[in-house]
Amino acid sequence: MLEKFMRRLELDDIDKSALSKQFSFFLEEEVGRNNLGSPLNGDLTTKVCQINSKGKAKLVARENIIVCGLALVPLLFESFGLKKLEFETNASDGDEIRSGTEFARIQGFENQILLIERTMLNIIQRLSGIASKTKRFVRLASPYGVHFLDTRKTTPGLRQLEKYATACGGGKNHRLRLDRQILIKDNHLASKGIRSPIQLEDFLKKIRENQPDELIEVEIDDLEQLKAAMKSGIDAILLDNFEPERVHEAVQINQNKCILEASGGINESTIEKYARAKPHFISSGAPIHASRWLDIGLDWY
Residues designated catalytic: 118, 153, 185, 219, 240
CA distance 180 to 251: 26
Written as one string, the DSSP assignment of 8-30 is ---GGGS-HHHHHHHHHHHHHHH
- CA–CA gap between residue 164 and residue 127 (Å, rounded): 8
What distance in Å separates the CA atoms of residue 157 and residue 140, rounded to the nearest whole number?
29
According to DSSP, residue 172 is labeled B
Give the DSSP letter string of 174-192: --SSTTS-EEE-HHHHHHT
Rounded Cα–Cα distance for residues 27 and 114 (Å): 13
Spatial separation of the C-alpha atoms in residues 108 and 56, rounded to whole Å: 7
Question: DSSP per residue over 38-67, as a string?
Answer: SGGGG-HHHHHTT--SEEEEEEEESS-EE-
The amino acid at 53: S
Measured distance CA(163)–CA(131) in Å, rounded:
9
Q: Residue 207 in contact with residue 234, Cβ under 8 Å? A: yes
Beta bridge partners of 159: none
CB atoms within 10 A of CB 6: 12
Give the DSSP letter of residue 146. -
